[in-house]
Structure 1
């Protein structure tokens, strides 16, 4: 699905339909160019990618922006920094006692702040604003063919138009079980008359909600997987003369898309945003489990998992009062740890929910609030593990010790283990998630003498079983000079 500003439609004689992309030479070439831009920007910043895409948008803004929106969902975009950017800015702010009036004073503050963290000043400079959108780095991109991208674009257009549907009539042949299961899952009301399925929208146009239209849109992929199908939807449009209902029809004879390229969509932009966030080592899983809520089953939107700890997350957006009342009743019977993100425009308050972890949001995810709650769980786990560990002796033996393996052996988190092994820092250095003996580090340092090629240095690290290649290079005082994206051309410099 796309945002409504990217929807291109045409209307005629009381009907409306999207302006689908044709699979002609020109459209395929445009799609191929956009895909190539994403493929060529892996390892580069998101800002660099957007700058180049903006040049293409002069050809056809909404079409290219729509393709871009779909391809962004196939990317892994992350912060590239040696330290949490928020912590970096906080440290610099605390170190700054007043207004900075010159570059020399600013540089002195950066050096002092870097020493407290401790990281190199250059790393601190890079980290300060690395979480800004334009500075995020594209880690991975799952490419697809230009033709499949165009088909996915056309499907998204049809789904986006259904956002504003007030009702739908459809016929299907085959695939009944899947469609009706989807109807139940989406909470859509329906009736069947003479082989037709009628889906009811909101009670009146004045109570039209995007959430209901989103459910219609999410049903479309289930419909088009049927052997034969047709639909007719009533679409609400705002005109200068007021609200108007237009008819949108579609059936299996249209070959503008196919069901194989459909990807699971999100109920809202807020859910999509949540799925892409980095929560400091907490992995995000969507619809992870079925929880007991009294006599009901409750499927939370997400779970956040880390080192054996799991916290569920439910995002409560705009909906009808009846639905909200039932949602609150269900959630209040869930016994597991759960964070509730509640649209502040809803007619409810934190006291309506039994859980203590309720955050209200306005369009954007309350990221800092979630991190604070997760820290509470991290501290609790750390305290419990240290108490459980008691006087147990941790055996430290070997030249290179993998803390991940040791954590599994003692059933501890990495953070707990790092606190326990801190006493061995005189004999070992903590590099990434490994302890490396001082003797081994000395041998590696000697073998690196005269080495310039990055890949030759990697061979030395691999020989001694050291995994954190970047971390050990920085620890030993080296930096990497890249010549293009080919690692074989990279050099190390002291």
Structure 2
């Protein structure tokens, strides 16, 4: 993605637009091809050599920010690593220790070379590797060990996508209107929202479609930068879905906002997600593994349901199934605030739905405020969901005296 200094946009009236480039333009295609070639040719060479070659190519042209943006996207696809016969810290320590014993060595090239040879023997390498490895851990000396190459057109498409993503760093809230479609279409979009752990509410029903409201990073007081990145990387997943219209409120300056609108019918932006979107959650993966060892009567399964709560919808991640036929649904929330939690609980209360468990990570709490109280079927954890706590909650929910839920 792009940094703020490389993001470009413009306003017309109350709307804001990313400043896209023409991905079919022959000049831009040639520039993209040249830049990819420069990076390719620097495999195995130092970071400083690569950036020097790129700086020379950029020069001082009028498209400076565009070129820098393309370069940023290419550098993000590179892997740099320290290349040295031993830890550079150890190499430096050995060199300085030996040099201190015969100080000074700066004016004695023969003595200096002998120290380097001695250190090379210590680390079983050639003298040249000692010189190269002495400061190999500095960023400019790291070597390009891998480059995820791409076509010129793909780079230009990703540049345009990155410009749109950059606007979402400053999003106050995002509204999504989801057209009537097959249940699998709804679930694909909702899973994309959940995968990036965005604070959201879902209103509507499957026969009429849904309206989804997502909180933006500007609305949070805590962890807003991390959340902003999540909202930006959500965009490619959204583009892979069908039947939606987005209206995002963007903070443009103090006390002033503008709107960025986008629809699934647009053709300029291309999703970087290939094929079906896969929703993964490490907390759930750990729970599935630990639950299998618990030997509970409750069977844990993935859920693809979209449960109608009247005015809203519930999209559980998992369902616990009991031999008696009872089912309890579990959802792991992403980022959350105490206010958001209360609103979610009110949705369940409105439909008198109690067969649920909500799990929240305290590390994703988006405000400094702590929740005053939580019902027993709301579980707050750190990085692991305690299967024992889940088992206890299941027993409480299915007991004859179940008074919990909201």
Aligned to 2:188: 178
Matched, 1:84 2:136: no
In 2: Cα distance, 1:229 partner to 1:247 partner: 16
- Secondary structure of the residue aligned to 1:43 is coil
Alignment of 1:271-420 (within 5 A): 290-292=285-287, 319-321=366-368, 329-331=381-383
Q: Give the counterpart of 2:259 among 221, 224, 247.
A: 247
Whether the 8 Å contact between 1:232 and 1:248 is mirrored in structure 2 is yes
Q: Give the counterpart of 1:63 among 62, 66, 88.
A: 66
Change (3 A) 1:292 1:321: farther
Number of equivalent positions: 295
Aligned to 2:39: 38
In 2: Cα distance, 1:99 partner to 1:318 partner: 57
Change (3 A) 1:196 1:334: closer
Aligned to 1:304: none
Whether the 8 Å contact between 2:252 and 2:258 is mirrored in structure 1 is yes
- Secondary structure of the residue aligned to 2:255 is strand
Identify unmatched segments of 5+ residues in structure 1: 264-285, 300-313, 336-494
Change (3 A) 1:324 1:73: farther
Q: TM-score, normalised by structure 1?
A: 0.52
Which moves more between the two structures, 10-19 or 203-212? 203-212
Alignment of 1:133-282 (within 5 A): 133-173=139-179, 174=181, 175-185=185-195, 186-192=197-203, 195-201=210-216, 204=219, 209-238=224-253, 242-260=254-272
RMSD: 3.7
Aligned to 1:123: 129
- Secondary structure of the residue aligned to 2:234 is helix
In 2: Cα distance, 1:289 partner to 1:317 partner: 15
In 2: Cα distance, 1:40 partner to 1:147 partner: 19
Change (3 A) 1:289 1:83: farther
- Secondary structure of the residue aligned to 1:49 is helix
Change (3 A) 1:112 1:146: same
Whether the 8 Å contact between 2:245 and 2:264 is mirrored in structure 1 is yes
Whether the 8 Å contact between 2:222 and 2:366 is mirrored in structure 1 is no
In 2: Cα distance, 1:327 partner to 1:156 partner: 36
Q: TM-score, normalised by structure 2?
A: 0.63
Whether the 8 Å contact between 2:69 and 2:159 is mirrored in structure 1 is yes
In 2: Cα distance, 1:117 partner to 1:297 partner: 54
Deviations 1:220-250 (Å, cap 9, x if unpaired)? 1222112333211011123xxx332111111
Higher relative contact order (CA 8 A, sep 6+): 2
Change (3 A) 1:78 1:320: same
In 1: Cα distance, 2:123 partner to 2:2 partner: 42
Aligned to 2:344: none
| Cα displacement (A) at 1:176 | 1.5
Change (3 A) 1:195 1:334: closer
Whether the 8 Å contact between 1:298 and 1:330 is mirrored in structure 2 is no
- Secondary structure of the residue aligned to 2:266 is coil
Whether the 8 Å contact between 2:83 and 2:143 is mirrored in structure 1 is yes
Aligned to 1:110: 116
Deviations 1:259-309 (Å, cap 9, x if unpaired)? 24679xxxxxxxxxxxxxxxxxxxxxx96982249999999xxxxxxxxxx
Identify unmatched segments of 5+ residues in structure 2: 276-280, 292-329, 334-360, 373-377, 388-406
In 2: Cα distance, 1:121 partner to 1:297 partner: 59
